[in-house]
Amino acid sequence: MWIYGVLLLVICLGANAYLFWRILALISSLPLVVRIVVGVLFWSAAIMLFVSMALRNASLPEVVSRAMFNVGSVWLVFLLYATLLTLLFDVVHKLVPAFSYGTPIALIITLLVMIIGYVNYRNPRVETIEIISNKIEDDVRIAVVSDIHLGYGTNKNKLERYVELINSQNPDIVVIVGDLIDNSLHPVREQHMSETLSNIKVEKGVYMVLGNHEYISGVEESIDYLRTTPITLLRDSVATPVKGLTIIGRDDRTNRRRMTLQELVNKVDSTLFRVVLDHQPYDIAQSDSLGVDLHLSGHTHRGQVWPLSLLVDAMYDQSHGYRKWSTTHAYVSSGLSLWGPPFRIGTHSDMALITIKSLH
C-alpha cells in the first residue's frame, strides 16, 4: 500500500513542478517580487492538503483547520485539470507554433470547469427505485445514503441540508452505507453534529455500517461517537426493523477478520426480504449467488471527477447506480457528499429512495 502512496506523491510533485514552470513562464515579465509572491502562494496551496491531513487531530482553531483542508483539496482538482489542459495545449503549440496562449487558456477553462463541478456537487440527485416482493406484508420506503464524510469538508451546515433532503423523502427506514465520518472526529464533535443527526425523522430507525473512513478516524472512537446518536450500528450483525424484512450489516473490508457474507446471510431465513449493507462494492456477485434480495454499497464516489471516473468504472463490476443482477437488486451510491475537493465533474452526488412494494 505504501508504494501507491509514494507513487501518488511523486506524480503530485511532478505535476506541481510542471505547472509551476509553465506559470513562471507566463509571468516572466512581471517584477521579481510578484513572481516570489506567486511562488509562495502556489507551493503553499500545493502542500496544504498534506499538512491538513498530518494535523487532522491537532487542537487548531476550527476555522484554520477547515481553511487548510478546503484550500488543499480544491488545489487537487485545480492541479489535475490545469496540468492536463496545459500539457494538451503544449502539444498543440508544438504542432501549431502560432498557438502561444495555451497556459492562460488552460487556467481559464480549469476555473470554469471547477465552477460547474461545484454547482453539480451542491445539487445531489435522488434516485427512485421500485422493487416488488411477496416477502413483505406492507410497502417499505428506504432512504439510502453513503459517504457523507462529516468533517472540515462536510460541515454542520451541509449536514443540515442533507438531513432536510432525507426527511423530504418521507422514508420508513434510513440506511447509511459507511463513511459517515471523514478523517477525524475532532470537527464532528466540535460542531455538535450529533444534534443534527438526531433530526432525521424516520419511524423504523436509522441503520449504518462502518466504512473505511471510520477506521481512518479511529474505529473505536467512531463507534463510541455513534452511540451518542440515534443511529443503530450493524457490525457483522442483523436487524429486523419491519416484519418480513431483515437488514444484514457487514463490517468494512478494512477488517480482514470480518465475517464472510455467506456466514451472515445463512443467519437469516431466506423467506425474509434480505438487505445487505456493505460499504465497498466488491461482493455484489456473491450476494447474487446467495439469493440476497437487495445489496447496498457506496465507497466509489464514481471517482468524483473525470477522468478518475473511467478508472473507477473499470475497477468494479458495478461502480455506481442501480442494476438488477440475476436475483439481486443492487444499488451503489456515488455518495451524498464526497471526500476532499467539493466538485462533481462527470459524476453526480446522489442518494436513493427505494420503495419495496408488497404483493400482499
DSSP states of 166-216: HHHT--SEEEEES--B-S-SHHHHHTTHHHHHTT---SS-EEEE--HHHHH
CB-based contact 269:240 (threshold 8 Å) = no
* Residue 4: predicted pLDDT: 63
The CB-side HSE value for 222 (13 A sphere, CA atoms) comes to: 24
Does the pLDDT at position 2 exceed 70?
no
Tens digit of each residue's pLDDT (9 = 90 or more) over 5-19: 678 778 888 999 999
CB-based contact 76:304 (threshold 8 Å) = no
Alpha carbon separation from 210 to 124, 238, 321, 332 (Å, rounded): 22, 14, 20, 15
Show me where the domains of the chain are located: 2-121, 126-358
Where does the pLDDT of residue 100 fall: very low under 50, low under 70, confident under 90, or very high at 90 and above? confident
Where does the pLDDT of residue 55 fall: very low under 50, low under 70, confident under 90, or very high at 90 and above? confident
What is the pLDDT averaged over residues 315-330? 97
Q: Whole-angstrom Cα distance, residue 56 to residue 321?
A: 32
Does the pLDDT at position 173 exceed 80?
yes
What is the pLDDT averaged over residues 256-262? 96
CB-based contact 2:80 (threshold 8 Å) = no
Mean pLDDT of the chain: 93
**Residue 87 burial (CB count, 10 A):** 16
User: Could you tell me which of 95, 84, 63, 276 has the C-alpha nearest to residue 190?
Assistant: 63
* Residue 294: predicted pLDDT: 98
Q: So what CATH class is 126-358?
A: alpha beta
DSSP at 17: H
DSSP states of 284-327: HHHHHHTT-SEEEE---GGGSBTTHHHHHHHH-SS-SEEEE-SS
**Number of H helices and number of E strands within the chain?**
12, 12
Alpha carbon separation from 310 to 56, 111, 144, 176, 319 (Å, rounded): 30, 22, 24, 25, 10
Where does the pLDDT of residue 67 fall: very low under 50, low under 70, confident under 90, or very high at 90 and above? confident
Alpha carbon separation from 69 to 44, 75, 139 (Å, rounded): 12, 10, 43
Q: Whole-angstrom Cα distance, residue 91 to residue 103?
A: 12
Q: Using CB atoms within 10 A of its CB, is residue 261 exposed (0-12), middle (13-18) or buried (19+)?
A: buried
Does the pLDDT at position 252 exceed 90?
yes
Where does the pLDDT of residue 349 fall: very low under 50, low under 70, confident under 90, or very high at 90 and above? very high
pTM for this entry: 0.89
Residue 96 CB partners (closer than 8 Å, separation 6+):
none
* Residue 5: predicted pLDDT: 65
List, in sequence order, every residue forming a beta bridge with 247; answer none if it has no partner: 239, 275
**Per-residue cell: 354:** 427505494
* Residue 58: predicted pLDDT: 74
* Residue 98: predicted pLDDT: 86
Does the pLDDT at position 1 exceed 60?
no
CB-based contact 236:258 (threshold 8 Å) = yes
* Residue 69: predicted pLDDT: 87
* Residue 244: predicted pLDDT: 94
CB-based contact 210:178 (threshold 8 Å) = yes
